[in-house]
Amino acid sequence: MSTAMERGFAEKLTVQLHTRILGKPLHFFPTIDSTNVYAGRLAREGAIEGAIVIADAQSGGKGRLGRSWVSPPGVNLYLSVILRPSVPATAAPQLNLLAAVAVADAVTEVCQLSPSIKWPNDVLVDGKKVCGILAEMQTDAGALRAVILGIGVNINAPLSAFPEELHDKASSLLLVSGRAIDRSVFTASLLTHLEKYYVLWLEQGFPALRAAWEMYASAVLGKRIAVAAPEGTVTGVALGLDDDGALLLRGERDGEVHRLLAGDVSVIGGYDRGEKDDPRR
Ligand code: BT5
């Protein structure tokens, strides 16, 4: 059940949203299995770029690699947007990075917090995950037809909404800021930033976003990390991002620069919390 403040999320968002592409149309569901699954169906049926699916709760929220996304009702954001960029399919994963920067901008602007990004696309505050992103591609004979960009943000979830095993690594904007955040204000800000970066990316490619991404990436850059990549685990120092968004890592065993396109990062020794997490200090 939504709280009183949160009643009318969909109506308020419709009024507050001034984007040109994203959110036209906006489909809102009280509960759904997964916004990415539904948006994927819409995309296959020909839905236009910018169509968005938002749910108040998900019964089968999806993470990457078959993992699940905890999606309690009435408190968070579960959103999927259909994009149809005219780019090669190999460029589509860059949308993960783009979305992370947009979320980090919204968290900074609406909550006055200092988020950081963990490559490729987790957004953390005080070392805990407040947002996950899942970009799924639809291709036809190798050509990119659509990307379903799914974004889950823990906005007002209390700690009790998360299973015990996530208490150390997950948090919400409410828990880290100590105040309830209006979901429609947050979502309007997120979509405004997402559209700004999407247009920039279409016009100029990933290099135009790299500085913004790296500004938020203090949780990873310059640190000793281990990346569990499909080709095996590589340990070394994170150097930055290549022109296509690949993570550049100086391997500690061979001293070579590795280019990683996918994987799960862990910072050896854990994430810094507090002051060092703020990329602007
Ligand atoms: C992600 O996967 O972080 C991508 C999550 C994407 C969720 C959105 S919600 C809207 C759209 N519709 C969907 O069905 N999905 C997208 P991954 O990097 O694999 O992280 C998943 C892991 O994060 C889990 O295995 C848990 O350890 C942890 N986790 C699960 N739920 C969480 C939550 N609400 N907050 C923080 N961490 C969570």
Alpha-carbon distances of 2 from 8, 56, 73, rounded to whole Å: 9, 8, 7
DSSP structure string for 13-32:
HHHH---SSTTSSEEEESSB
Is there an atom of ligand 1 within 6 Å of 78 CB? yes
Is there an atom of ligand 1 within 6 Å of 154 CB? yes
Whose tokens are 């805990």? That residue is: 128
User: In this structure, are residues 114 and 125 in contact, taking their beta carbons and an 8 Å threshold?
Assistant: yes
Which token pair is 153? 């943000």
Is there an atom of ligand 1 within 6 Å of 121 CB? no
Structure confidence at residue 6 (pLDDT): 52
Q: Report residue 220's pLDDT band, with 50, 70 and 90 as the boundaries.
A: confident
User: Can you tell me which atom of ligand 1 is nearest the CA of 172?
Assistant: 35
Structure confidence at residue 269 (pLDDT): 76
User: In this structure, are residues 192 and 109 in contact, taking their beta carbons and an 8 Å threshold?
Assistant: no
Q: Is the pLDDT of residue 279 over 50?
A: no
Structure confidence at residue 48 (pLDDT): 97
Is there an atom of ligand 1 within 6 Å of 61 CB? yes
What would the pLDDT profile of 38-58 be if each residue is shown by its tens digit?
999 999 999 999 999 999 999
Is there an atom of ligand 1 within 6 Å of 35 CB? yes
- Rounded CA-CA distance 161/42 in Å is 30
Q: Is the pLDDT of residue 5 over 60?
A: no
Q: Report residue 24's pLDDT band, with 50, 70 and 90 as the boundaries.
A: very high
- Mean pLDDT, residues 169-179: 97
What would the pLDDT profile of 63-112 be if each residue is shown by its tens digit?
998 999 999 999 999 999 999 999 999 999 999 999 999 999 999 999 99
Is there an atom of ligand 1 within 6 Å of 166 CB? yes
- Pick from 125, 179, 137: which is nearest to 156 by CA? 179
Alpha-carbon distances of 215 from 118, 162, 253, rounded to whole Å: 12, 29, 28
Q: Strand pairing partners for 274?
A: none
Structure confidence at residue 121 (pLDDT): 83
Structure confidence at residue 275 (pLDDT): 37
User: Can you tell me which atom of ligand 1 is nearest the CA of 35?
Assistant: 12
- Mean pLDDT, residues 130-139: 97
Structure confidence at residue 119 (pLDDT): 87
Q: Give kind and range of the element (H or E) at residue 266.
A: strand 264-267
Is there an atom of ligand 1 within 6 Å of 170 CB? yes
Is there an atom of ligand 1 within 6 Å of 150 CB? yes
Is there an atom of ligand 1 within 6 Å of 245 CB? no
Structure confidence at residue 271 (pLDDT): 58
Structure confidence at residue 234 (pLDDT): 93
Q: Report residue 3's pLDDT band, with 50, 70 and 90 as the boundaries.
A: very low
- Mean pLDDT, residues 131-155: 97
- Rounded CA-CA distance 151/54 in Å is 10
Distance from the alpha carbon of residue 276 to the mean position of ligand 1, in angstroms: 25
Q: Is the pLDDT of residue 150 over 90?
A: yes
Structure confidence at residue 264 (pLDDT): 87
Distance from the alpha carbon of residue 118 to the mean position of ligand 1, in angstroms: 14
Q: In this structure, is the dihedral angle defined by the CA atoms of residues 215, 111, 122 and 22, taken in order, positive or negative?
A: negative
Identify which of 69, 70, 147 to mutate to test ligand 1's pocket (most ligand atoms within 8 A of the CB).
69
